[in-house]
């Protein structure tokens, strides 16, 4: 049970990290959409797709940003669901381990 708890705790931390990364990407897309409002309609906008920059019209960029936002929001929802399921499983394991070992085991994470 200790190994299972450790493995699930590691996976949970990885999921939390991925959620934070996806939220940061979503924030960057929102900032980019806000910046597009300030540009002239006639200007083409360079958009980075992978490692390549592609020049697109503002309407095309807005559509691209909206699609990327939808994709990221869906991924965040899936990761949140996985994390919440993992948390309930971790709570159950923690309860069992504390019942068995009492104060001889520390399963709480250190805050940084």
pLDDT in tens, 25-75: 999 999 988 888 888 777 788 888 889 999 988 888 889 999 999 999 999
Q: Which residue has the higher pLDDT, 76 or 36?
A: 76
List residues bridging with 45 in a β-sheet: 56
Q: Please check the confidence at residue 111 and state whether its pLDDT lies above 70.
A: no
What CATH architecture is 2-104? Orthogonal Bundle (1.10)
DSSP-assigned letters across all residues of 40-88: -TT--EEEEETTEEEEE-HHHHHHHHHHHHHHHHHHHHHHHHHHHHHHH
Specify the pLDDT at position 84. 93
Tokens of 75: 């991924």
pTM of the predicted protein model: 0.80
Q: Where are the domains of the chain?
A: 2-104
Cα 54 from Cα 59, distance rounded (Å): 14
44 contacts 57 by C-beta, under 8 angstroms? yes
* Block residue for tokens 């200007």: 43
State how beta strands 52-56 and 45-49 pair.
antiparallel
């Amino acid at each position: 049970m200790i190994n299972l708890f450790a493995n699930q705790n590691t996976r949970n931390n990885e999921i939390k990290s991925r959620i934070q990364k996806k939220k940061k990407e979503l924030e960057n897309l929102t900032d980019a959409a806000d910046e597009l409002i300030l540009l002239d309609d006639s200007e083409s906008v360079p958009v980075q797709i992978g490692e390549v920059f592609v020049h697109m019209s503002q309407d095309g960029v807005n559509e691209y940003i909206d699609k990327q936002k939808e994709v990221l929001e869906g991924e965040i929802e899936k990761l949140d669901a996985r994390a919440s399921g993992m948390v309930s499983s971790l709570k159950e394991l923690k309860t069992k381990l504390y019942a068995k070992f009492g104060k001889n085991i520390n399963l709480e994470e250190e805050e940084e």
